[in-house]
Amino acid sequence: MSNWKKDLKETVEPSIDYSKCDLSVMIRQAEKKGACDEELYDLSQYDSIEEAMQHENAPYWCLWYAVYVIKKRWKEVEPIIMKDSEYAFWYAHDVIGGRWEEAEPFIMKNAGYACQYARYIIQGRWEEAEPIIVKKASSAYLYARHIFQKRWKEAESTIATSMLWKSEYEKIFNCKIGEE
């Protein structure tokens, strides 16, 4: 088994109860809501929801279904969604409409989505994620600009690694990185 399949298989929680989920009904509902033909085809290749949830696109499919079909939380698949930083952020944003604390350890693994989560979900500092955010120039710049709304000295050495973000940072904060 390839590594990504092994890793993916480990992301599926064995305790998830899919007994109320009929894959063919779900596919028809998704089709009525305008789901992509390619994704519907991929899903139709599976005999059961359990099989489909082992696919690498399962977090995306679950998010899409929650947003566009059932239009509410889908607790049975949250363990699948939460393990993907991007889809966990969007689930918190579009479905929960607020913090999703169980998913935060996964969201903070990605500096970009951690920054967006702080900005749009927490709407303030997310100190636990700052050690990750500070490692990526674009995220550090955006965090300084939108969260601190002032210079973030701890991030300046990272921001300085990108000419674009350094220039924007210096312009926004009327400063020169490396000068006091």
Q: Is 48 exposed, middle or buried (0-12, 13-18, 19+ CB in 10 A)?
A: exposed
SS3 28: helix
Query: CB under 8 Å, gap of 24 or more: what pairs does 22-25 form?
Result: 22/49, 23/47, 23/48, 23/49, 23/52
Query: What backbone torsions phi and psi does residue 84 show, to the nearest 5 degrees?
Result: -115, 115
pLDDT in tens, 116-142: 999 999 999 999 999 999 999 999 999
Q: If you average pLDDT over residues 91-102, what whole number do you get?
A: 98
Report residue 180's pLDDT band, with 50, 70 and 90 as the boundaries.
low
Which of 121, 137, 124, 147 has the alpha carbon at shortest distance from 169? 137
23-32 helix and 58-65 helix, angle to the nearest 10 degrees? 60
pLDDT in tens, 40-55: 999 999 998 889 999 9
pLDDT for residue 11 is more than 90 = no
Per-residue model confidence (pLDDT) at position 21: 77
Q: In the chain, what percentage of residues exceed pLDDT 90?
A: 78
Residue 102 CB partners (closer than 8 Å, separation 6+): 78, 82
d(CA 122, CA 108): 13
- The letter for the amino acid at 55 is H
Half-sphere exposure at residue 134, Cβ-oriented, CA atoms within 13 angstroms: 15
| Average confidence score pLDDT of the chain | 90
d(CA 157, CA 46): 49
Query: What backbone torsions phi and psi does residue 159 show, to the nearest 5 degrees?
Result: -60, -35
